[in-house]
Amino acid sequence: MNSPIRKVAAGCLMLVLLMLANITFVQAFQADDLNARSDNRRVLLDEYARERGPILVGADNTPIAQSVPTDGEFGYQRQYANGPLYAPITGFYSFLFGRSAIERAENGILSGDDDRLFVRRLVDLVTNRERQGGAVKLTIDPAAQQAASDGLGDFKGAVVALNPQTGAILAMVSNPSYDPNPLASHSISEQRAAWDALQETAVPEEDRQKPGLNRATAQTLPPGSVFKLVTATAALESGRYEPDSTVPGPAAYDLPQSTVDLPNQSGRGCGEGSEQLVTLTEALRVSCNTAFAFLGNDLGPEALREQADRFGFNSSPLEELNAAESVFPAELDPPSTAQSAIGQRDVRATPLQIAMVSAAIANDGVLMRPYLVEEVRGPDLVSVIEQTEPEELSRAMSPETAEELTRMMVNVVENGTGRNAQIDGVEVAGKTGTAESSEDRPPYAWFTSFAPAGDAQVAVAVVVEEADVAATDIAGGRLAAPIARQVMEAVLGS
């Protein structure tokens, strides 16, 4: 063999070896990532040709997402019962636009590709049976979910309900919502039209309602006065304050290093005497801005930030839905500390986070990690592959502080701004909030609560972003508290 032929042969051999090495690398190290890509059409075609597992809720395992046989090009059609009601949780499963929410997070089980179904896949291979996906059982209480949706009505906003003792999410509603069924259509044109509607491509940006946004977990807003629960907790945990300790509550708080005052919403002082002294309990009952602004600067930004972190701020609380981090800012000067202490300035929170605050207080100061998936089941829909175990996320406060805060929150509902959350025969603890947003839009109405106060079974957070009412009627006690009451009643009655 002459030299040129040897060189060509060596080159070809090298290319073959490199090709084999690349194939080995792809198969051994990149296969899972490539299969998981939402734009991998080969994988999607394979998935569409098999029965995808259902997403279940309730004691009777009602399917809110399931695949049914069809005679078309694809073997199965994904269908969503009560699509808009559950869309923020289930998400969508689309040939063109991939997956979202639980359809994305639990795709391995639902599609049948999860390693925990390996034995089942071997049996299917031997018996020449089509591969079938497993089932995902959610923690959602259908009665609470419906009550939250009915309560919100046409209001733009969100509701989250938790079991304080476990962290299980009992309800999660975001409004406006959307119907995921057209996105799962076998018609490409119908999918594209549904996607364009979801993205509001024909709507000016300033008028978009963002129906695809899960407002319960993906959007952070100023929490306003519901954040006073965090400030009150920091005060009690400091050892320097008790529920009957007095603080100044004048009509306006003179912000340090500033020519601007921070006023009470009523324009009046909260306390008594020339110094307008008010107890911590009374300050929470009437939601006294000036008293909590004073507390914020007296405690200092580090104490507030540490307490917020113990409640779950500045961390992602729900990986299943890629929940946004609620934020308590890192660098605060005295005026911004005072404003942050009442849930304004740069403080931002999701409804999920505010529900976690109430849940921690309700659970003797222990914050449980929130979760949506109760069980993962096999294709037979009966055998349990994995069951979620409740997990302690942090100790947000001492049991003594939790008990004191509970009594203070009961006072808010029985004698203060939260009267619209009262339930006959049930002791309810709660806190209202009204948060300023911007000069060109109305404030946000917040409410958070739990019940029964002595042995809480449910903690709720409600935010109303927009409502067709006069701006003067937008307040947490007026708009959000009745919604929370409906959800608590649904849980306690179920």
- 494 part of the active site: no
- What DSSP string runs through 421-450? G-BTTB--EEEEEEE---TTSPPEEEEEEE
What's the Cα-to-Cα distance from 42 to each of 37, 46, 104, 441, rounded to whole Å? 10, 6, 17, 47
Query: What whole-number distance in Å separates Cα of residue 393 and Cα of residue 164?
Result: 12
Helix or strand holding residue 42 (H, E)? helix 41-48
Q: Are strands 261-263 and 252-254 parallel, antiparallel or unpaired?
A: antiparallel
In 155-267, alpha helices (H):
188-199, 228-237
Residue type, 118: F
Query: What whole-number distance in Å separates Cα of residue 492 and Cα of residue 424?
Result: 12
Set 225, 326, 336, 358: catalytic member: 225
Q: Which residues, at least 6 apart from 336, have a Cβ–Cβ distance to it below 8 Å?
A: 329, 345, 346
What's the Cα-to-Cα distance from 469 to each of 155, 299, 442, 443, 462, rounded to whole Å? 10, 38, 10, 12, 17
Query: What whole-number distance in Å separates Cα of residue 445 and Cα of residue 434?
Result: 5
Q: Are strands 135-138 and 55-57 parallel, antiparallel or unpaired?
A: parallel
**Nearest to 343, CA basis, from 265, 435, 267:** 435
* Beta pairing partners, 448: 431, 461
- What DSSP string runs through 47-91? HHTSBPPPEEETTTTEEEEEEEE-SSSSSEEEEETTHHHHHHHH-
Tokens representing 138 are: 């959610």
Strand, coil or helix: what is 203?
coil
Tokens representing 80 are: 């969503």
Q: Taking the CB of residue 457, how many other CB atoms lie within 10 A of it?
A: 17
Sign of CA dihedral 311, 316, 321, 323: positive
Q: Which residues form the catalytic set?
A: 225
